[in-house]
Every structure is written in C-alpha cells, then in structure tokens.
A and B are shown apart, each in its own frame.
Chain A
Amino acid sequence: MKRTVDVSLPIGPVHPVFKEPCRIKCETRGEYVLNAEIELGYVKKGIERIMRGRPWQEVMFLAERVCGICSVIHNMVFIEGVELISDISLTDRAAYLRVIVNELDRIQSHLLANYSYCYTIEHETLAMYLLNLRETAMDALERLTGARVTCSYIIPGGVRFDLSEADARWLQETVDTIDSELTRFVTMFKTGSLIALRSKEVGIFTREEAIESHAVGPTARASGLTHDCRLDHPTYRRLDFTPVVYTEGDNYARIMVRFDEVFQSTALIRECLDRLELGKIRGGGEVIAGTSRWAGEAPRGELTYQITTDEYGRVMNIGIRTPSIMNIEACAHYMIKGVLSAADVTSTYISSDPCIACNER
C-alpha cells in the first residue's frame, strides 16, 4: 500500500488536554487526517492477574480501582456477579439505594466528560461551570457513601450505609439544584456558535461502524443504537426509563447524549427516593463456587465481568471488559480518521470519553 503522507503527527503521551497518558499517532496530508493509531501501555497494572486466587473481600476493592472515575459501577457489577453465583437476594431498599448511588456516579462522570470536552475546544467558562456543578454531585456521593472516590458502598446482599430522612430530603434538593443549573449550561452549549463550529459534523461515527466495532454507551447511542444494559437490570426495569438516542453520530451528539443522560439520572434518583420504603439494607448469604457473566451500564457503556469463584469464596478466574476498550478503538479507527484538522483530533478523541485506566486495567 502506498500512500502520500505529509506529516506523521504523534500526540502525547503527556499532552495538555489529556487527563491520561496515551499516544495518538496520526498520518496527515496537510491538515487532513488519513489514519490514526493509538499506543497504550502507559498505565498497565495487570489487575486481572493480581485478582486471581484472592478472596472476594479483597477483589472487591481491587475491582473498584480498575477505574477511579466510575468506581461505583465496577463495585456494583462485581458484587452483582458474585450475588448471581451464590444466589444472594437483595432487599428493596438496598436495591434502590444502589441505583441512587450509581446514578450519582453517572452524573459525576458525565459532567467530567463534558467538562473535558469544553476545555478541549477552549470554552473554558462552560468547562468551569460544569466542573463546579460536578462538585455538587460529589458532595451528594460523599454524604451517602462516606468517600468521594472509591467508596466501596455496595457489598453482597446490600449496601453499607443507610440513608437518613434528613439526607434524603437534602439529596432531593441537591438533585433539583443540579437540574436547574444544568438546564442553563445546556442552553449555553446549544446556542454557542463556537461550540457548533467545533462540534457539529466533526468526527462522524455511523451506525454501521458502531455495530462493527461493538461501540457501547453514549458513544453508540449518539449513533443511533439503542443498546443500554440498564434495560436488562432487575431494579432499573421497575423504574420508568427509556435510553437517550441521537442519530447524528458527531461530537455534538455525543456530548448532548451525556447531558440528556444527566437529566435522566436525576429523574431516576427522584423516582427511587419516592419509592424508598423503610426496611433492612443488608441481607445475608454465603459466597459459593460457580461461574457467572454479568454486565452493567457504566457511564461509558457496557461493563462485563466474567467471574469464577471456588467454594472458599476465592476468585479463581476473572475477565473484565470495560466500555473504554470498545470506544477507544472505535474512536481511533473510525472517528479520527477523516477529521479535517489536527486540532479536531484531540476534541474528537475526548468526545468519546476515553478512560485509559479502564482500557488497560
């Protein structure tokens, strides 16, 4: 294969817009990007290897540290996988509390993702607004679970802490604040002409490509796929909710999906708070030997854990498939290819909300 390549442009590993180290290697003709490749390996830790042969009590904390941004969902999917093996049941109150914490985590993560995008396209005002709003969500998370990040709130058979009456009221108010503030910011985003220029019809990702690369989460939903793992989750099925879907498949759509999902999350939290009835937050049970495969919807998409335990409750084998694996691949090979300027490479990359720590484990 012979191609005319003007410049090969490596971006990274340490770059002002990247939160995490990775290296994008672009081949460009003029400003047009012909091809892109992503080089990883800067945060490889080998978590799956460490997990093998350890009791679940330990693996639970390791699972959370696969990704610090969406730690709640890693905790949740791992524990639900273990519950599935051992047939441990869950009280209603605990199930709803799990959903509340998970949705708070999603709000926090989506706001961070959109902050990074706005920051990358140099709209710092909006970025700072979003980052400040994220602190509100972090406060709620801290008040409920006792920690800002890596809170290990979810344990087999229930959750760690109960939600007091006063906290529930406070949470309701917080959620209302998030809603009203974010409405303002979304209007800013929708009407900003700079934003439209930098985001609309940039980094197009079609439905067919999404299917081929198995893209998941907001990245896929911005390209018209309806897949959302929450639809298969027993607790979410009791709640009223339909996935947010856009069909444009450009940067703008991906950011808007996330904004809309924040509103959806606040609605879900409100609904859970309404349904919350007094009761126990913990059941009992014993972890037994078995194998399970369980998926949950992380902020970035489908997260799958494949767990094998033995009769002492040790994890004998574990495979983790995080959403970023699919999304980063899709981003490198479909979205970045064909963007018109090198400046769009970084913004397109950030719009798919990549999380390298997840990707490499």
Chain B
Amino acid sequence: MVEYLYERDLSQMKYIIVTSPLHETVLAELAEHYGLGRQAIRRKMIEECDMSFLENIPARYEVWKAEDSPRDPMERQLGMRLLTVCIPMLSPEEMKAVEASVRSQISEGIPEAEAYEAGMEAIREMIRR
C-alpha cells in the first residue's frame, strides 16, 4: 500500500463504528458460529476494512444470508464467500488453501464434521493472527 503524508490513527473511529447496535447483532452471530471472541473479530475487521466498508457490514452479512441456495453445506459451515467477498477479512488465497485442505481431508475418508472442524480451526487461527 501507499503511504500518505498525513494520516491519523483511525482505529478509535473504526472501533466506534463496529460497536453500533446493528453491528453487535452481526458480531454475536459470527462469534458464535466461529467460536471466537467478538473482540478478536472486531480487531481483524478494523485491520482489513476501510471505514465505509465497516459501516456496511450488517447489510453485507444480510446479503450473504439471503443468497439463494441450495447453499452447499461447506459454504454454510465455513463461510468462504462470507469471509472473502462479503466481509473480506481473509484473502482469497488463504481461504482457497483452507478449502483445498478440507476437501482433500474429506476425500481421504475423514468424517465431514471432523474435516470442517479442522477448517474452522485454521480460520480461527487466521483471524486471531
């Protein structure tokens, strides 16, 4: 990225945005689904998104939820599109790696639930980082 001549630390303002009532609802759902603390998710969001994006998170989350299915169970479980396109907290490459490893585990005969759990763990790792 480019360096700007005058730049303030915006994390305080960004934090204010992600604590609004609508964001709280989304964060609660995400935190429960991924088994992460809200603060960890907030931190990752603040790092990755600009301010207008942060404001739009509840709407984008709704779009993801309403996306016409039959949604494949893997998307519902891991939220690949959610985390890379709708709320871009992770880069597509990182997500691809997770997806590939989960798929290979499943094809190797490891039970789906276990494979998903491993995928979730990887995602958790990346968000905490």
Interface residues of A (CB under 8 A from B): 5, 8, 10, 25, 27, 37-41, 44, 46, 48, 211-214, 306, 317-321, 325-326, 328-329, 332-333, 359-361
Contacts and interface: CB of A to CB of B under 8 A. Distances in A.
B59 A325 contact: yes
Contacts of A325: 52, 55-56, 59
Contact of B22 (A39, A46, A321, A359): A321
A41 B51 contact: yes
B110 interface: no
Given A39-B50, A212-B85, A326-B56, A318 B21 contact: yes
A48 B60 CA distance: 20
Contacts of A328: 52, 55
A322 to B, nearest CB: 9
B11 to A, nearest CB: 11
Given A317-B21, A333-B53, 20 more contacts: A25-B4, A38-B50, A39-B10, A40-B55, A41-B13, A41-B51, A306-B21, A319-B22, A319-B25, A321-B22, A321-B58, A325-B52, A325-B55, A325-B56, A325-B59, A326-B56, A326-B59, A328-B52, A329-B52, A332-B52
Q: Which of B3, B4, B85 has the most CB of A within 10 A?
A: B4
Contact of B50 (A213, A332, A360): A332
Given A44-B16, A212-B63, A214-B60, A359 B21 contact: no
B69 interface: no
Given A5-B2, A44-B13, A321-B22, A359 B55 contact: yes
B62 interface: yes
Contacts of B50: 37-39, 332
Nearest to A5: B2
B52 A359 contact: yes
B51 A40 contact: yes
Q: Which of B52, B55, B58, B62 has the most CB of A within 10 A?
A: B52
Contacts of B86: 212
A321 B59 contact: yes
Contacts of B58: 321
Nearest to A52: B21
A333 B51 CA distance: 12
A317 B25 CA distance: 12
Contacts of B53: 329, 333
29 contacts: A8-B3, A38-B50, A38-B52, A41-B10, A41-B51, A46-B16, A48-B21, A211-B63, A212-B60, A212-B63, A212-B85, A213-B59, A213-B63, A214-B56, A306-B22, A318-B21, A319-B20, A319-B21, A321-B22, A328-B55, A329-B52, A329-B53, A332-B50, A332-B52, A333-B52, A359-B52, A359-B55, A360-B55, A361-B20
A188 B112 CA distance: 64
B5 to A, nearest CB: 8
B45 to A, nearest CB: 14
A44 B13 CA distance: 9
Contacts of A40: 13, 17, 51-52, 55
Nearest to B14: A41
B55 A329 contact: yes
Interface string B25-65: 10000000000000000000000001111011011101100
B100 to A, nearest CB: 20
A320 B20 CA distance: 9
